[in-house]
Amino acid sequence: MSKVPTDLKYTKSHEWIKSASDGSVTIGITDHAQEALGDIVFVEVPQPGRKLAAGEACAVVESVKAASDIYSPVAGEVLEGNAGLSDTPEKINADPYGNWIMRVKPVNPADVKALLDAKAYEQVLKDEA
């Protein structure tokens, strides 16, 4: 079974979201997502200043098997993309919750609260199995 930390929020498309004290959120892909993708060989992150709609494809993770879009869980502005992943994309395989893809300032912070908690995300994984 994939690891699902209880201090994060999740989406049905397998992104994790961590809220910061400044109101921004850090976004990455879940353990389940990196397992499904296999060995990650390339990550394209969004540029700072980009405005995102909730559910918009805004980054790409490529593995030896497939390319997969990463979707913004909330509407907001990209504060930063994790440029370090360009040189070492495999870090996501080693530690998917320690290696984020982007930081976003949500338009509406309440949108984060509406995302899945760990228990609800675990149910999504069970339903897909």
What is the CATH number for 97?
2.40.50.100
For residue 127, tell me if it sits in a domain. no
Contacts for 107 with CB less than 8 Å, ≥ 6 apart: 74, 75, 76, 77
DSSP state of 116: B
pLDDT at 1 over 80: no
Q: Which domain holds residue 45?
A: 9-121
Q: What is the pLDDT of residues 31-81, one digit of tens each?
A: 999 999 999 999 999 999 999 999 999 999 999 999 999 999 999 999 999
Structural domain count of the chain: 1
pLDDT digit string (tens) for 80-90? 999 999 999 99
Maximal CA-CA distance, the chain: 37
**Is-contact 50 27, C-beta < 8 A?**
no
Q: Is the dihedral of CA 121, 72, 44, 5 positive or negative?
A: negative
Report yes or no on 65 lying in a domain: yes
Q: ∠ CA 90-13-113 to the nearest 5 degrees?
A: 110
User: Does any domain span residue 128?
Assistant: no
Quote the pTM value.
Answer: 0.95
Other beta carbons less than 10 A from residue 68's beta carbon: 19
